[in-house]
Structure 1
């Protein structure tokens, strides 16, 4: 058999181009996710299958024989499908080349695919001759197919990242498998023609070369396009890889280097990971934490409460709260935990959270509180000294006067002044004692509505003198709190009295009582006075601050202290020229609502 060397060269070019690109596609597929890997494997198999098919059929065109050949398109298409399917099987096993069995399976599929395609390709050409094969030469051709394809696949995929030069060498080994099988296989063919049906057909070499060249050019352009698309995909992959590295670095900084303990919990409530700070805070090692139920870190009193918050977080709600953590040593400490749901590809995996040890924070908080107390005590002491010094000076003067002049005229009047000064000192001392009292032990249940009615009745006389009307609006039938009645009475007297005195020309004081979610009572006291400036609003609770001519400046501070002892709050809002609103909030023991308010 003689061959056209130009077409033989074209068949070799087809082999090199297609095998190089196919091997590159498989290399890409092994770095992708499962869905992307299938696509790249299919592209590689299609490329390699076309390469094997093209090498065979372009190689057949290089034969210079006077034989009739009729190429059936359906049969040729079946040959291509055989090549694509066989190479897919060969490439599929390249992912696990660390196993020897995968190497042999991959080489077996590839070699068998090349052999089967060559045999059926010759059959589909329907050459008008009986074909016989020399056994020894055929065996040599098959051995070349298995050996060289196995070497190419092993060299390409046993290395983690082959260079382009090595990939080119590997494609040459694959070309040896393809061309070796084809051209040695042709040498193994023994043809015996049927003269009766022989039709001489000797196509011009030029036309065959043109057809072969066109096939190679079109196929090469197609493969080049695929390769460019693959390179663009690699560029995108590289960019995503850089972004992933940056994201991992951020996560490393946020988790591994976080001074707070960071943990991951699966939906089965077991700890799946944590950072070094978590080990330091809890005293447990990473091995001890891994796989343990998260509740073992909680104080016994907190374990049951936490389940509700766990379920809320799994439902998608971030949770931040304070709890008590049990250290490995057995000690307990306060901590702030933050839990957020953890999603991967929009699927809830579990919870990621942080533990912040509040021990140091509580110490600093207590120091700050003590510092503030000392500052207030110092301010109070200075204020008390100033307020007491004036009446004491008067008392000292009167006493010295009585000593020097025992029978001084107007003695009775001087004694009354002295009694007033003593009463002033007594009042300041009593207010100071209220501020100095420790936290109250509250045991009495008090219905606020009768208490407020009593206070408004008590202040009716003063309101009348100021041409002021007191109106109450109760949106509840009853509202009980826990505390000391006389102390709360003092608060209401102070605040309502201030509202009356804020309207020198008269007006209306409106007292409203409502329940807030059956948990708190809100008492609003609104006047129609001149209002309070923003500067003065900030100073309302400072000791001895007053805008009244004869005020002591302790009433609101005492009221705030009483409400603090009752776990309540006092807040003021005001608009100049329109009036002031005082809001008192107290935790309710029980609240009975009314459909409409009662007014008086």
Structure 2
């Protein structure tokens, strides 16, 4: 006989175990990879343990007149049989292809598990009682288990394409039938079993193992309830995911490669493609018909990578169901099995049309701004708050010789552009600018890539974001090198004009009394016995007269008669005139003339005056003898370059810049008029004078004059 409370207990256990079986089956089909195996294991343990406990409790609650024990190894073998058989039934049931044969196979697996486990528990009984079986009833118990299991599975799953779609009501009905299968099989199998004592008399069931049965029952209940609770929580999580899946404005889809069909396609597909998701489920190649003409080659290339098992991210255009052109961003991940066979594609597709339009607008604005920056003549340099150059327009490239790529993202203090400032000074200026302590307008020399110096006038400004924080510093510059040179020329011209007016007045006032003094001094000279002092006075008067002549020449240059003259002949005459003074000072004049020099168009005497003056300056700079080199060559097809190089003590840089200014001289007794007049004569010949000097090494004067057209003809 069975105890009624325990009968109710294992009846409840059988129903809970059956419900756990169906509930877990609905969760398993939604899982992939290791989660799939994990849920099968959980379902097998919960259901298998529940079925095993039903049979074990049933055996424990029988009453036999003899002591009863169980073989633990066989008990655990029975439990393992229940878990393994239930796991196999679950694995068969959750396959993607749903058929009646699959239901029957799963039911057959469950029935076999029940019978095998029941017999294992019977075999585990350790007693002196002899056990006989009625095989007809035993086969009937097996049939009951398989039939009720099949009906339960059919009720729960046969009306749904997906196991996960099964309703709770159907699962409860199926649980009741599967519970009846468990109980029916147990009672029928027990009815087929006869227990006989040693004297061949049948005995009633009197053994009582209530405490053990209670423990096993409670344990099994806990396992079943925990499994059902886990399935419930997982279902809540899946419901949330499903809500997201249904409400997202993106297309989430899965394509089965083996069966060449779409498995899932989210409702957001209609918002992306303008076509309902059901249409894509029916025609998996529908999306290819929407591809914008010209993007097909790109799509085909990514398809090749996908078929090779490589993930792909792509952006392409389509013409949606409403005739609108859209940009889509798509991420596709292929799934393969252990052998590398491609199983499916999982993809997410987003409509990025608005982003593309925004990018195009930004790009157009950037191109517009860049066009303005590149066409303006102003120098535009922009640095970020780390001092790195982020903008360097074409005017900067043209002037500096550096390309934007060469200076991009370089701290501007590490470039070679800024002259006379080291890195620390530039960093200090930069940090002062960021703090607001700076002068908006400043001038700074640039050293170009080719080594030239350019004076730049900068106007600095700070660029701030919407929060008022400084993000960049912009400098707008203008090359004022030529402007400064022009200003310098104007300044010198004004000086020359003033000097000329002054010279004319001084010469006029000095010349008349000077003539009187010379006349009377000449009369006294003839009657004087001691003429030494008279010679000195006459010499100084001649010097004063020479200076006044230079004053008059400066104030009102004489008209010059330009003629074609041979450069070498002109220079040889100058060397002949200066040779005597050079010999007296132990100075050697070395001439170096190129063979291709022709003629120049000039006023010969004026040019001789210039070169004689330059040679005299060179000799005066070498009091301790030395060499002077006089070179002449063609600078280019249209210009002759004449250079005079000495080995004197040189001129300091600060003095070098003032040469040619009125009354400025480096000599103790000089007037500063000789070099100024030389500059004026060369300018009247449309030439230039350039002076280079190194202190302690000497000075070089380069005179550049235009060549006569006959020179080019001659060449």
With normalisation by structure 2, the TM-score equals 0.41
From the CA coordinates, give the structure whose radius of gyration is larger: 2
Structure with more helix by fraction: 1
What is the TM-score of this pair, normalised by structure 1?
Answer: 0.47
Structure scoring higher RCO (CA < 8 A, sep ≥ 6) equals 1
